[in-house]
Structure 1
Amino acid sequence: MYTKRNYGFFMTLNWSKKPMLLGFLYAAVLFSLFYFIKIRFYLPWQPLGLIGIAVAFYLGFKNNSSYDRTWEARKIWGSMVNNSRTFGAAVVSFVQGANEAEIKKELLYRHIAWLTALRHQMRLSRPWEHTEERINKLYAPTVSEDYEKTLQKELAEFLSPAEIQSLSTYSNMATQILRNQSKRLQELRDADLYEDFRHMEFHHLIQTFYEDQGKSERIKNFPFPRQYASTAYWLTIVFCAFVPFGLLEIFNTTMGWMYWLGPVITAIIIWVFFLMEKIGDYSENPFEGTYNDVPITAIARGIEIDLREMIDDTNIPKPTETVNGFLM
């Protein structure tokens, strides 16, 4: 997530310059052929304008839908923050008896382990994501040994080696961590550390965590429908391919040096349309680990800090800081 007030113009230009440069070269060739070889072929601007309006409306639809996916993802992880704080307060208040300090720490650490596993699972790549543009290559583009070692190392801070070993055989580790949490809560109820009513509250919170995880997995594992994404891309290409033919009618050879402004204007028009298309394209997948992601690493760190402070833990980490204006 970008945290500064505005993207810089040159930052935006650098990110989206390829279509503009290609459009300028394409238009320069056509304008040169028209000027030097006297190829007199152009298209009236009116039908091209209608096509441009249709493409702009379609890109608007795509961008709105992409934004909805990003905003829904942020709301899901906001719900996780609230539910996690409620769970932490319940653990601190409900659990009473022998070794209560160790038990509270165990439960909250297992919850942090769940967040850690879920965060790593959300960062795994999918074929439709921009895996080549992950922030500083912080997240492995495929499920690999590096990913496994990183996750195991982080989980070792919160879970016992035996529990980590038992989880390693499962495909969805986050799901199994919550299962273990539920079993442990039942054991504590059987040991009379709290009564049935409080146990039901714990079970309800586990349910909300499963719901939040399932909603995140739905966005992660179900792409923005490819027919909509692909149609927007190809319609933009078709429209931009016709743009210089329409401008040839406007910038005719009788205009002198101003005739050569045609390729520049063409490049700007092409840049505007492809910029709109790219913004929607890079908003479709809010967990892919690129510049406009939901900052789930920072959110998970914030939850960890809150929970560990509830039990007066030591060596509490600092909040995640921005790097060059980006928060992961």
Structure 2
Amino acid sequence: MHAGRKYTFFEFILWTRRDLYRLTILAVIPTILYHFCGFTFLSISWVPVALLGTAVSFIIGFKNNASYSRLWEARQIYGGIINISRAFGVMIRDFLESKDKSIEVKVIFYRHFAWLTALRFQLREPRAWENMDDPRNVEYSRNYHIAEKIDKLEEVLAKYLSADELSYVLTKKNKATQLMALQSSHINRLFASGNISDLQLQSLQNAITVFYDNQGKAERIKNFPYPRHFSSIATIMLNLFVFLVPYGLLNDFNKLGNGTLIEGYSIWLNIPFAILLTWVFNSLDVVGESSSNPFEGNANDVPITNISRTIEIDMRDMLDETDLPPAITPEHNILM
């Protein structure tokens, strides 16, 4: 996510410059043909273009609202993971403290860090509908690094798991699910050996249920895109509108200079104003698109790497460890 005050206008221009090149070409061609070649038939009434623009504004607004909802839900999911992780850690520590089970407490804590790691790696896996291969996003991603694209999962998990558990988990397709299953088995063994009571077992299993619930919600957002039919029709209508705008403005700007000193030259105003109008609509669309997949590694994603590190620091602090990992800080105002 962007952790600064705001994106600058220059950043927006740089980010959308490829679109600006396309929009400029679409505005220049009909203007030249109209002015130099006498193709006055290229001019069309502004009324149908304006009506189409109204429809485009509605569907882009709908798309942006839905994209923001997906982003905000993803942030709420990880907010829930933060809260239940702290509660889970306190319960494990306090329930087993009187039993002098500090080693087992640490094993459960570190297995939880492994679960957070496996989950964030899974959520960063690419999907066909995501936008990280878009040239504008590829270029901007050079301003920050995505840990899940650089680190190797097995090496990170090795810091938290025993050799046997690591070997077992690496054979599984959904590693996060199996890690939480190991937590459940461990807790049930503690109950069977009399180290925790019925009520304590229920509290801990309820926490595991919440972890699974939040994982499932995150996977739903990851694996179910913004509906393709809505996305497709928005793109088609936007491209049609962008194409027609320069033709709809031709006659108006040509007449603008009649009887004035700029007569014969006012037609050239069609180019900057057409670019400006179409750039606004196009930029609104790409902003919504950049928010629709909140786990892909985009600069506007939920910072799951940072959140996972925050949870780890808090829980290791509960163990009174002093060698805590450093907090993750923004790179060029981008926090992952």
Q: TM-score range by the shorter chain?
A: over 0.9
Number of matched residues? 322
Equivalent residue, structure 2, for 1:27: 27
Structure 1 residue aligned with 2:5: 5
Instruction: Spell out the pairing of 1:154-303 with structure 2 (5 A cutoff).
Output: 154-252=156-254, 254=258, 255-303=263-311
- Verify the 8 A CA contact 1:96 1:194 in the aligned structure 2: no
Match of 1:317 among 303, 325, 331: 325
Secondary structure, counterpart of 1:179 in structure 2: helix
TM-superposition CA deviations, 1:142-184 (whole Å, max 9, x none): xxxx77xx11111111110110001111100000000000000
> 2:111 touches 2:161 (CA, 8 Å); kept in 1?
yes
Cα RMSD (Å) of the superposition? 1.5
Instruction: Provide Cα deviations, 1:240-275, integer angstroms capped at 9, x if missing partner.
Output: 111011110111174333321211111111111110
Measured against aligned partners, the alpha-carbon deviations of 1:184-209 in whole angstroms (never above 9, x if no partner) come to 01111112112111011000000000
Q: In the alignment, residue 69 of structure 2 is paired with which amino acid?
A: D
Per the alignment, in what secondary structure is the counterpart of residue 194 of structure 1? coil
Match of 1:83 in 2: 84
**How far apart, in 2, do the equivalents of 1:121 and 1:155 lie?**
13
Contact residue 123 and residue 139 of structure 1 kept, 8 A: no
Per the normalisation by structure 2, the TM-score is 0.92
The unaligned stretches of length 5 or more in structure 1 are: none
CA contact (8 A) 2:56 2:237 kept: yes
Displacement after TM superposition at 1:68 (Å): 0.3
> 1:110 corresponds to which residue?
111
TM superposition shift of 1:16: 1.3
* Alpha-carbon separation, structure 1, partners of 2:63 and 2:146: 29
How far residue 32 of structure 1 moved from its aligned partner, in angstroms, is: 0.8
Distance 2:28 2:213 in 1: 55
Residue identity opposite 1:197 in structure 2: L
**Per the alignment, in what secondary structure is the counterpart of residue 320 of structure 1?**
coil
Q: Indicate conservation of the 8 Å contact 2:121/2:148, yes or no.
A: no
2:72 alignment partner in structure 1 = 71
Shift of 1:304: 0.4
Q: Give the distance between the partners of 1:312 and 1:116, measured in 2 at CA.
A: 22
Partner AA of 1:35 in structure 2: H
Deviations 1:196-224 (A, max 9, x none): 11011000000000000000000001111
SS at match of 2:40: coil
Counterparts in 2 of 1:138 and 1:59: CA distance versus 1, 3 Å: same
Alpha-carbon separation, structure 2, partners of 1:182 and 1:75: 24
Q: Distance in 2 between matches of 1:251 and 1:83?
A: 61
Is the 8 Å Cα contact of residues 35 and 267 (structure 2) preserved in structure 1?
A: no
* Deviation larger for 267-276 or 99-108: 99-108
Q: How far apart are the structure 1 equivalents of 2:232 and 2:70?
A: 17
Q: Output the CA distance in 2 between the equivalents of 1:139 and 1:199.
A: 35
> What are the Cα deviations for residues 110-162 of structure 1, in whole angstroms up to 9, with x where unaligned?
11110000010000000001232363463677xxxx77xx1111111111011
Distance in 2 between residues matched to 1:23 and 1:322, nearest whole Å = 33
For 1:138, the equivalent position in structure 2 comes to: 146
Check whether the contact 2:71–2:291 (CA below 8 A) recurs between aligned residues: yes
Question: 1:314 Cα deviation (Å)?
Answer: 3.4
d(CA) in 1 for partners of 2:63 and 2:102? 51
| Structure 2: 5+ residue stretches without partners | none
Percent of aligned pairs with the same amino acid? 39
Relative to structure 1, is the Cα distance of residues 197 and 190 closer, same or farther in structure 2, using a 3 angstrom cutoff? same
* Aligned-pair CA distance for 1:99: 4.5
